[in-house]
Amino acid sequence: MKLLKRILLGSALLFSLNVVAEEMEPTFWQDLLPQVDTVEDPFAALDSNQLYDLGTIARYRDAQKVEGFKPSEASQKEMAQLEENFAKSNIDVDALFVQREKIMQQRTKLATLPNQGVLNKPHRIPGFITPVEMEGTKVTKFFLVPTAGACIHTPPPPPNQIVLVEYPEGIELVSLQTPVWVEGELFNEATAADVNYSDGASNVETVYQMSALEVELYQMN
């Protein structure tokens, strides 16, 4: 009877562990992006010539902010003509520049803020290893990145598209092209670390960190 109880208890425990494992849905990189308000982009309605002229006006206005700037009479006439052309097309240049600032702020948030909804929860994330620290042949600290070779062969992704992972147990690095699954609790802590490579180093910033419970070679769930 005791043996039967142990078997049943063991079976129940194994079943519950399987259920937990099955419930661990993968978290993908787009899930790490913050939820920000959409800002209307009026520039999409402009043609290439209008965009060029708008850029010319923007550069002129930036130059006006520089102490000692003295525009020529020709450049003043050119700017007046460009703004008049926009006015004839019912395009408010000043309103466009205000909207440009809003768009820039939105893009900054999209690139640098964490998604509060994923913080302090367990996640299983696929990606590629960019080593930061090693013990022998094992990687014990690394950046998890969405594309192979990021931060080494290509510029770093945005800070909220990188996870700094601590994994004291270490994992043998097969290659930078080998995808992995990383599992653990995700938390927000802005930090930077150097990634060293053959001809230099790159300082990489992230807003996510994780103390990994498991790192394994990628297999489809």
More confident residue, 11 or 137: 137
* pLDDT score, position 155: 84
Query: What are the tens digits of pLDDT across the range 44-96?
Result: 999 999 999 999 999 999 999 999 999 999 999 999 999 999 999 999 999 99
- Provide mean pLDDT across the span 159-179: 94
- Radius of gyration, alpha carbons of the chain: 26
Kindly report the pTM of this predicted structure: 0.70
Q: Which CATH number fits domain 114-217: 2.40.10.10, 3.40.50.300, 2.40.50.870, 3.90.1490.10?
A: 2.40.50.870
Contact 147, 157 (CB under 8 A): yes
**pLDDT above 70 (res 16):** no
Least confident of 8-17, 116-125, 173-182, 191-200: 8-17
Residues composing the chain: 221
One-letter amino acid for residue 45 of the chain: A
* pLDDT score, position 194: 80
Domain borders along the chain are 42-112, 114-217
* pLDDT score, position 203: 84
* pLDDT score, position 193: 85
Query: What are the tens digits of pLDDT across the range 91-117?
Result: 999 999 999 999 988 888 888 899 999
Pairing of the two strands 163-172 and 121-135: unpaired
* pLDDT score, position 20: 42
- pLDDT > 90 fraction of the chain, expressed in percent and rounded: 63
- Residue 197 burial (CB < 10 Å; 0-12/13-18/19+)? middle
Write the CA distances from 19 to 7, 10, 22, 23, integer angstroms.
18, 14, 5, 6
Largest Cα separation within the chain, whole Å, is 102
Q: Which helix (H) or strand (E) holds 163?
A: strand 163-172
What 3-state DSSP class applies to 134?
A: strand
* Integer Cα distance of 192 and 143 in angstroms: 10
One-letter amino acid for residue 17 of the chain: L
- pLDDT band of residue 9 (cuts 50, 70, 90) is very low
State both tokens at 6. Answer: 């142990």
**pLDDT above 70 (res 142):** yes
Does residue 200 come out as left (phi exceeding 0), alpha (psi in the -120 to 50 range) or beta? left
What 3-state DSSP class applies to 150?
A: strand
